[in-house]
Amino acid sequence: MTAVTGRAILRCMAQRKLAAILSADVAGFARQMEQDEAETLIQLKRMFADVFEPRVSSHGGRVVKFMGDGALVEFASVVAAVRCALEVQEALADDSAIRLRIGVNVGDVIADGEDIFGDGVNVAARLQAVAAPGGIAIPHAVREQIAGKIDAPFADMGSHQVKNIARPVHVFAWGGSNLEPASAACGANERISICVLPFDNMSGDPEQQYFSDGVTEDIITDLSKVSALSIASRTSAAALKGRRLSAAEVSQRTRCAYVLEGSVRKAGNRVRITAQLIDGRTDSHVWAERYDRDLGDIFALQTEIAEAIAAALKARVLPAEKRALETKATTSSEAYKLFLMAKHYHVMGSERTDEIVVRLCQRAVELDPKYARAWALMAVVQTRMHYRAANDDPGENAASRALELDPNLAEAHAAYARVLANYRRYDEAEAEHRRALELDPDSYDANALGGRTYTVMHRHEDAIRCFEHAIELDPNEFIASAMVIQNYVALGDTDNALRASRRALTRIENIIAAEPDHGTALGHGIGALAFLGETHRAKDWAERAMLLDPHNRTLRYNMACAMTRLREYDQALDYLENALQQSNREALDWAKADTDLDPLRSLPRYHAIMAETEARVAAEEDAT
């Protein structure tokens, strides 16, 4: 082989590309091995399998290699890489003996087969070395790219001369025991970090929980409008709900300097809100107030609380931000109450409550025709009802109205994306999903509906990313938890499919314990049991489900998928035939694309069922 030929082959084998690199290493690993080698290795393997790899997968990363107690991971997006790093460290902050140092860099790398190397990798490794245990270090370039996309306080640690890198690296750090408090370590322009805990419902009526949850969410939204403040994600705060932790413990777990907690008491048309802001570093009160108002003053009250907190922290509220605080989604307190109630029923995930959600939203927009959030929620639920042929309204009018009223409402774009997907306009639907997630990466509907569209498009990695984030956003939700399973299966990722099935089943068991006839939960639970190989239990659940909710066609469809997993093909086809008897085009398209049904596609009876359904649907379309 000539030298020229050899160089040509090397150029083909090694390709340059831009990538985000995550380098992780266990802090104090040698000391832990010296103390208890066997237990340390067990904990290391468990951490990588249960915490690290699932989060890498959910954010679209690829583990390039494991190196003893370390790992090198490649991402296409630096935002995804940093989000993954944050989630890993937050997960390990609770009760884990393993502490990671993580460095994230973005830069030019050389790909040689499955491996990567070059300056981009070297800088990530050096950043990891300077990160504190439990912390993350990033360079200025990464900080610039995540600005406005990730709400996490990265402190400016100045320039560092790192090993084997000629130029100094400007380092920003998050978390870890060696990081100074935000106010001490950061310059005057660094944002002040706050964790808003879910406000307690003090109304003496558990049915009023929806109202206190809604007030909490809107206070978070208002505080997020102040650029001088950095507000912990709803996910981080919701995970602490019901746990009796001191402000110092909350501050440590969320890496926030301040903690806001409070309570809501609603009685008739009166509402009392108490709130207190605590410095998590000293466990001392910074500000506290109690407000007794008419329900009609709820919007002005939320603005007043946000402005009082900003003033207590000496955070400047810019004129445009003040205008944003004073701009509310609705001016009707009654419409607001109805919307919060509708949202409460929506997150329950039961088909039986869909009509209630639509009815509440319709009443809300009668009271305030310009209430975009109510229009958007109505559209989301109407698309779901139309999919199962439970109404004639596909949700397009409500989604269009929501977008017309508020083009920057993530849920409006997500609802319209679902409408477009139901019309098989997938490229347009994907563009709407992307816009929804740009506007609000932490919107449950934007992520869950995006996952659904990517599933039918067989874009399984994208579906997993969306579903996994939706799952994190709501610790009680079960639909995304169940739907992500088939995407792992489609990719041949059995380990994550088993993990997802166990997680979904745990959530569904909690729901069924409180609501034994929840048909939607039962249907998804049967599928999880089938994948876990719990055949007898899956069949017991199926028998019970048919007695409790016999007319639920979505339940029958999910049972068809479950029986397919159990290789009970005749029974699966019975359920499928029944589920499709009154289906429309959207449901038929889903069945055609559903990878859970792939084992049936070679059977003559399957083709007969699909042909009959296709002929009926086409005739109905011609008649309209």
Q: Tell me the per-residue pLDDT of 302-328, one tens digit each, with 9 for 90 and over.
A: 888 888 888 888 887 777 777 777 777
Per-residue pLDDT tens over the stretch 592-610: 999 999 999 999 999 999 9
Q: Which residue has the tokens 């306080």?
A: 153
Q: What is the mean predicted confidence (pLDDT) over 22-30? A: 86
Residue 368 lies in a domain: yes
Residue 345 lies in a domain: yes
Residue 503 lies in a domain: no
Same domain, 564 and 433: no
Residues 178-185: contacts with CB within 8 Å, 24+ apart? 178/132, 178/133, 178/135, 179/132, 179/135, 179/155, 180/155, 181/257, 181/281, 182/153, 182/155, 182/257, 183/257, 185/155, 185/156, 185/157
Same domain, 323 and 367: no
Task: Give CA–CA dist 153/577, Å, rounded.
Answer: 54
Same domain, 291 and 340: no
Instruction: List phi, psi (to 5°) of 255.
Output: 60, 35
Task: Give CA–CA dist 99/90, Å, rounded.
Answer: 11
**Inter-CA distances, 296 with 200, 263, 269, 336, 337, Å:** 21, 18, 8, 10, 10
Residue 175 lies in a domain: yes
**From 32-46, 124-138, 442-456, 490-504, the region with the lowest mean pLDDT:** 32-46
Which CATH number belongs to the domain containing residue 153 in this structure?
3.30.70.1230
Same domain, 264 and 286: yes
Same domain, 235 and 362: no
Same domain, 219 and 277: yes
Same domain, 305 and 337: no
Instruction: Quote the Cα angle for 199-508-482, to 5°.
Output: 105
Same domain, 312 and 211: yes
Q: Which amino acid, one-letter code, is at 17? A: K
Helix (H) or strand (E) holding 277: strand 270-279
Residues with Cβ within 8 Å of 1's Cβ and at least 6 positions away in sequence, in order, are: none
Instruction: Please report the pLDDT score of residue 473 as a whole number.
Output: 79
Please say if the pLDDT value at position 2 is more than 60: no
Per-residue pLDDT tens over the stretch 399-437: 999 999 999 899 999 999 999 998 899 999 999 998 998
Per-residue pLDDT tens over the stretch 186-203: 333 457 888 888 888 887
Residue 491 lies in a domain: no
User: For residue 199, how far is the Cα from the chain centroid?
Assistant: 21
Where among 415, 447, 477 does a domain terminate? 477
Same domain, 313 and 350: no
Residue 511 lies in a domain: no
Where among 423, 450, 477 does a domain terminate? 477
Question: What's the chain's length in residues?
Answer: 624
Residue 490 lies in a domain: no
Residue 508 lies in a domain: no
Same domain, 71 and 18: yes
**Inter-CA distances, 533 with 24, 279, 423, 527, 561, Å:** 35, 50, 36, 10, 14
Same domain, 457 and 340: yes
Where among 179, 209, 240 does a domain terminate? 179
Instruction: Please report the pLDDT score of residue 537 as a whole number.
Output: 94
For 183, half-sphere exposure in the C-beta direction (CA atoms, 13 angstrom radius) is: 12
Range of the domain at 585: 516-624
Same domain, 370 and 299: no
How many domains, in total, are found in the chain? Answer: 4
